[in-house]
Copies of this chain bind each other. A is one copy, B any other.
């Protein structure tokens, strides 16, 4: 890859030019094509994708996101017509491919929470083996005083000792989210077989060999554009209610927990937006630093907190949605109410974690 491994924060160092961008895009396009081939070979078309097919789909999304983000951040250096045509197609593709995974993760998160809230030490084996974090992961859960052992310590495949309400709530969520997941799987398969997708794949195949840079791009400096992406992130973070988020137990996240408003959590939107801007910033750093990209642990922690925020927000909405199912038992509805509130507190905890990691970052930056 034709990249210059220079420190972009050092103004006296040489510029990182369009060549680095071209190299990054070619590498991501190659990765995309490799993942696509792998996905086809590993039977991505089966009703329930194998582990390899899941990995391949993840790799597809991963490179699609990076290509799309780079086209956005470094827009002035690329052929406008081409990049404006392909970006929405990449967004459609990664969005479509992400749904199945999202529903699976949401169900896993909610079932784990139900077991945690039931004080059940025995978790379903297929859940306990994975590492989807419950509440409090990384916040005292590992301390010596935590009474319960690690979930993986007792991976018996029983339903545990759930109440009728919790068991019924779990069954309801499993039914609804498995149905949604199956539909998302079919939609993804249809998408991957569509002529729309083949057009995207053809475009990416061209990108793997030839990046449509503007004539000026070869000598243009990438760093001002990357800095602009970082500035958009910084501005969005500055608009977040971080003072409140930094006070533990501020009880803000659940404040519309029983609101009659059908879209009760507009307060989450700015955080979701920061999550996307943080990703753009991270990918821009990858373009500048190439394979030598130093891992910024604080950026990583902030990003993980925002992922957790998004996951908990959507899981809380799924629990609230399930509670609106007609003719459910009161005990089921009660369990879903507890579950909803629990996930909203996860939202609040994730904001606190973000505030903590971001604060460290600001202090350490000169």
Contacts and interface: CB of A to CB of B under 8 A. Distances in A.
B258 A140 contact: no
Contacts of A114: 258
Given A258-B162, A334-B323, A335-B258, A140 B244 contact: yes
Main secondary structure of the interface of A (DSSP, over half): loop
Contacts of A165: 258
Contacts of A134: 251
Contacts of A256: 117-119
Given A118-B260, A241-B145, A243-B143, A136 B330 contact: no
B349 A249 contact: yes
A331 interface: yes
Contact of A243 (B118, B144, B248, B349): B144
Interface string A332-347: 1111111111100110
Contacts of A249: 135-136, 139-140, 248-249, 345, 348-349, 352-353
A328 interface: yes
B337 A333 contact: yes
Interface residues of A, number: 64
Given A163-B259, A243-B145, A254 B117 contact: yes
A289 interface: no
A116 interface: yes
Contacts of A260: 118, 161-163
A309 to B, nearest CB: 12
A264 interface: yes
Interface of A: 114, 116-119, 134-136, 139-141, 143-148, 161-163, 165-166, 241-244, 246-252, 254-261, 264, 323, 328-342, 345-346, 348-349, 352-353
Given A116-B255, A163-B258, 14 more contacts: A119-B258, A134-B251, A146-B250, A165-B258, A249-B348, A251-B349, A258-B338, A323-B331, A331-B333, A334-B340, A336-B337, A338-B338, A338-B341, A345-B345
